[in-house]
């Protein structure tokens, strides 16, 4: 009886000691991992995380060696950052003018396509082929990139089998290498904006432009070139070198979301400086300015019910004016589609 008890006590003492050292050890390991940045306290707190941890992975092409597969990724990155130098109006290979303005992909897909809520391209390859309303068919990633060539770059289709298209797709594959199979990433697209239920206030938009945007985009919204002479350090917001009227950015709701999440450029996502109302008005202001006009826009959205409400060009399925599709208020148009067609429209 007595020996049994002592034995039991001995066992429980050992257990306490093990437990104690075990906890200290585990705590020590965590402190070390935390100290060296392997784990962060934020990663335990997913509920308040605004975007996927995928955005913290490395997408630095400088870490790639010079194998032929890596060379094509690096060329894709180079095209993404300095598009007009290779494909723009004054590139040295004159037979290769594919983009009609001097924007680079990176001017809108910020941080080389890796910034959350700046239409990041992490996981994009896994999301294609994909149904697209503008064409009303399943489209390939090459067709989607060409959508930006024809509209955001005011240019023409880059042949799907060209070295340049292969390079761009390779770079996007590199960005997608850690993404889940379905390519869905928290932080894709743009931040949401509560769209005011009123028309754009152009005077307010102009004032915000003057107070906030001129610092970088210039007094006439024409930005400033980089010292390389090909690309923009601060891209133009309208005029001949801007996106055309068929681009995603000419939809006021899309532009407001981009601007709210990303401008002024020295903002962090976490500390947005513009209110929803300000982003809405300034987006309306820049999109009322003169910009290149795309031909054949009437052929967009063969299924007209798929057309986003702030698409600035006709035809529409509804009877609201072109002006209202450009300057709001958008709620009545959204309600119309909900009531008549049971379609929820967000942009
Ligand atoms: C003027 C700004 C702008 C430029 C420049 C631009 N894009 Fe885009 N891009 C957008 C916008 C806005 C969207 C989202 C459109 C939408 O919501 O329908 C988009 C969407 C995309 C998508 C689909 C993203 C997704 O999440 O589904 C791809 C791929 C893409 N762009 C590639 C490119 C490439 C490659 C270039 C350079 C050749 C480029 N873009 C240049 C504005 C731009
Ligand atoms: C601190 C400088 C800065 C300020 C202030 C700023 N921007 Fe930008 N903006 C940039 C830069 C830089 C880019 C391109 C990002 C890149 O290439 O990395 C850009 C890109 C853009 C783009 C997409 C590319 C294009 O030219 O269409 C839009 C739209 C835009 N800014 C709108 C605005 C608006 C509206 C404001 C004012 C509310 C604003 N920006 C304030 C620096 C700035």
CATH fold of 54-175: Cytochrome Bc1 Complex; Chain D, domain 2 (1.10.760)
Atom of ligand 1 nearest to the CA of 243: 1
Reported as a single tens digit per residue, the pLDDT across 128-160 is 999 999 999 999 999 999 999 999 999 999 999
Domain boundaries, the chain: 54-175, 202-341
Residues with Cβ within 8 Å of residue 92, at least 6 apart in sequence: none
Burial class (CB in 10 A: 0-12, 13-18, 19+), 94: exposed
Atom of ligand 2 nearest to the CA of 236: 26
Do 54-175 and 202-341 come out as alike in CATH topology? yes
Beta strands in 170-275 (DSSP E): 224-225, 232-234
Q: Which pTM was predicted?
A: 0.88
| Ligand 1 centre distance from Cα of residue 247 (Å) | 9
Q: What is the largest CA-CA distance in the chain?
A: 98
Instruction: Check if 324 has its Cβ closer than 6 Å to any atom of ligand 1.
Output: no
Mean of pLDDT values over 151-179: 97
Instruction: Check if 64 has its Cβ closer than 6 Å to any atom of ligand 2.
Output: no
Residue 273: band (very low, low, confident or very high) from pLDDT cuts 50, 70, 90: confident
For every residue of 248-303, which 3-state class applies, written as one string?
HHHCHHHHHHHHHHHCCCCCCHHHCCCCHHHHHHHHHHHHCCCCCCCCCHHHCCCC
Do 50 and 165 form a contact (C-beta atoms < 8 A)?
Answer: no
Separation between Cα atoms, residue 306 and residue 297, nearest integer Å: 14
pLDDT for position 35: 56
CATH ID of 202-341, from 1.10.357.10, 1.10.760.10, 2.60.130.10, 1.10.3720.10 = 1.10.760.10
Atom of ligand 2 nearest to the CA of 223: 26
Phi, psi torsion values for 235, nearest 5 degrees: -70, 155
Reported as a single tens digit per residue, the pLDDT across 315-331 is 999 999 999 999 999 99
Reported as a single tens digit per residue, the pLDDT across 194-221 is 999 999 999 999 999 999 999 999 999 9
């Amino acid at each position: 009886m007595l020996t049994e008890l002592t034995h039991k006590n001995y066992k429980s003492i050992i257990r306490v000691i093990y437990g104690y050292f075990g906890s200290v050890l585990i705590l020590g390991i965590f402190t070390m991992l935390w100290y060296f940045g392997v784990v962060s306290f934020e990663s335990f707190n997913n509920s308040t995380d605004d975007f996927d941890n995928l955005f913290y992975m490395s997408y630095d092409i400088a870490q790639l060696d010079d194998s032929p597969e890596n060379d094509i990724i690096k060329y894709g990155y180079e095209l993404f950052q300095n598009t007009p130098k290779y494909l723009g109006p004054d590139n040295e290979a004159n037979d290769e003018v594919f983009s009609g303005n001097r924007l680079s992909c990176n001017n809108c897909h910020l941080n080389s396509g890796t910034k959350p809520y700046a239409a990041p391209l992490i996981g994009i390859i896994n999301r294609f082929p994909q149904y697209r309303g503008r064409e009303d068919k399943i489209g390939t990633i090459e067709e989607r990139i060409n959508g930006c060539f024809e509209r955001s770059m005011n240019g023409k289709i880059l042949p799907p089998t060209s070295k340049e298209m292969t390079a761009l797709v390779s770079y996007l594959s590199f960005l997608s290498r850690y993404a889940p199979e379905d390519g869905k990433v928290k932080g894709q697209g743009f931040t949401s904006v509560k769209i005011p239920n009123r028309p754009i206030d152009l005077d307010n938009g102009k004032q915000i432009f003057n107070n906030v945007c001129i610092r970088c985009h210039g007094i006439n919204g024409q930005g400033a070139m980089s010292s390389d002479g090909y690309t923009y350090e601060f891209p133009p917001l309208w005029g001949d070198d801007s996106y055309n009227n068929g681009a995603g950015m000419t939809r006021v709701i899309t532009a407001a979301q981009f601007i709210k999440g990303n401008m002024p450029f020295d903002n962090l996502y976490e500390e947005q400086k513009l209110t929803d109302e300000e982003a809405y008005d300034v987006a309306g202001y820049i999109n009322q300015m003169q910009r290149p006009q795309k031909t054949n826009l009437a052929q967009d959205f063969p299924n007209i019910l798929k057309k986003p409400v702030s698409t600035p060009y006709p035809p529409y399925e509804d009877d609201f004016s072109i002006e209202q599709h450009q300057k709001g208020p958008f709620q009545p148009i959204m309600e119309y589609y909900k009531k008549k067609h049971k379609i929820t429209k967000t942009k």
